[in-house]
Amino acid sequence: MSLNIPLLKEICEVAGAPGYENRVREIVLREVTPLVDNVSVDKMGNVVAVKKGSTDKKIMIAAHMDEIGFMVTHIDENGFLRFHTLGGFDPKTLTAQRVIVHGRKDLVGVMGCKPIHVMTPEERTKNIAITDFFIDLGMGYEEVVKQVSIGDPVTRQRELIEMGNCVNCKSLDNRVSVFVLIETLRLLKSHPYDVYAVFTVQEEVGLRGAGVAAHHIEPDFGFALDVTIAFDVPGSKPHEMITRLGEGTAIKIMDASTICDPRMIAFMKQTAGKHKIKWQPEILTAGGTDTAGVQRSGKFGAIAGAISIPTRNLHQVIEMADKDDILATIALLKNCINDIDGFDWSH
């Protein structure tokens, strides 16, 4: 199997800040509708695609559609924009980066801040803050207010490219998982339980969509799909790496919002071994995923875990993942769905 790079590119490059996932949702609906028995959009905007199995047990798989972004909070008298973050950003990665302001029409802007040439010696030693930035649209106030309003979302502008055996783009978090879930649905032929493939909203601002979906679905089993940190670069220590690129998909043990069910961890390890899928363990001590919503929001909870794609430069302007790790994630998810009724879940 090879990756459908044109589809991955389309999914990653499209804009979809938290609460404004409509462009991503259109692609998801186009791709999944022919692959499932039923598809719907709930009141929050989650896409719920159902592929029926042979029993009435339910598997929920969550992949969030939103990306970290911004919201316009102020337009000054010279046409410069101030903004609030939607999700977590590393401020140092924003300097002089292009963004897209989604007003009446899409406008390219540039993140600006005070030039180093005019900084005082004290300012040069300080870490730059998000509040030090503004967005420059290259237009004056009168032109800007014709197109931009307070509350308009802003996203990063970066195209997907291939580098070695990797893909590099903005919003691999978490569009690569959206892609993985679509491609897994494409491969499923017959499976024991009903599969609820849920493309969730507003994960980056508090796992909001997954909780609503799990509350409605009440799954017996749950999987979240997301990226995780690969800090396998110069300057890192072995205990800091979390995961490494090229070492396989990651089976989550815990993150800051979830301790995964030991039964699910054991099942995923067993499935990876049975099908000779390369994998690595993941313990993420800071940051959470939709796993928490899937695990805890149904009436009786769910036996839940997560499959993660190792990613460098996470929550920065560009992110990078290995193609083989993405393929391993698809393979593990597909085989977990197919083999889930053959595992002893009693202990």
What residues are paired with 60 via a beta bridge? 196, 222
The helix or strand, by DSSP H or E, that contains position 307, with its residue range, turns out to be strand 303-311
Of 171, 22, 142, 155, the C-alpha closest to 101 is 155
Whether the CB-CB separation of 195 and 61 falls below 8 Å is answered with yes
SS3 218: coil
Whether the CB-CB separation of 168 and 320 falls below 8 Å is answered with yes
- CA distance linking residue 277 with residue 251, whole number of Å: 11
- CA distance linking residue 341 with residue 182, whole number of Å: 22
Q: Dihedral, CA atoms, 1, 328, 162, 246, nearest 10 degrees? A: -130
What residues are paired with 309 via a beta bridge? 227
Point out the residues that are catalytic. 203
Helix 323-339 × helix 262-274 angle, to 10°: 110
The H helix count followed by the E strand count for the chain is 9, 18
Of 109, 66, 111, the C-alpha closest to 91 is 111
SS3 202: coil
